[in-house]
Amino acid sequence: MAEHPDAAVVRKGYEAFSTGDMETLRSLMTADCTHHSPGDSRMSGHFKGADNVLGHYGQLMELTGGTFRIETKGIYPDGRGHVMSVHKWHADRGDRGIEMEGGLFFTIVGGKVTDIDECVADIDEADAFWEQQTD
């Protein structure tokens, strides 16, 4: 049985993220794609536009010295332009490490991602790991 096209887009996105292939990631998003990250930390907020979304992903890597990684557990399309993914993310930051379950809820239009809503198992723990933005 063939994979649903929307699930294939998300799977390709996870693969590109995992290999640092930002060109492929960009090709999977609309120009005005938005990523919504939960919580109240330097990594929380609404990142609108492909450049800002990719910048957000770059900051994940920068803040963790390149240790941020995702282990995909499942990708589930609804056949109506939405895909839910479940994963575990791992990262080290300074003397602190984190491993947490999470997921993304994608909206896909015309074969491209338009919106990504992120969920994490423990928002407070994620906030503590990322810390507040310092100005």
- The CATH number of the domain holding residue 86 is 3.10.450.50
State the amino acid at position 25 in one-letter form.
Answer: L
73 domain residue, yes or no: yes
25 domain residue, yes or no: no
CA-closest candidate to residue 113, choices 21, 56, 35, 4: 35
26 domain residue, yes or no: no
Instruction: List the domain range (segments joined by +) for residue 113.
Output: 5-20+31-130
| CA–CA dist 44, 58 (Å, integer) | 14
CA-closest candidate to residue 32, choices 133, 110, 102: 110
Read off the pLDDT of residues 24-37 as tens digits, 9 standing for 90 and up: 999 999 999 999 99
pLDDT > 70 in the chain, percent: 97
77 domain residue, yes or no: yes
pLDDT at position 56, please? 97
> How many structural domains does the chain have?
1
124 domain residue, yes or no: yes
68 domain residue, yes or no: yes
Q: Which residues contact 57 (CB under 8 A, 6 or more apart)?
A: 17, 22, 25
135 domain residue, yes or no: no
Read off the pLDDT of residues 36-80 as tens digits, 9 standing for 90 and up: 999 999 999 999 999 999 999 999 999 999 999 999 999 999 999
For residue 117, give Cα distances in angstroms to 66, 89, 107: 23, 16, 9
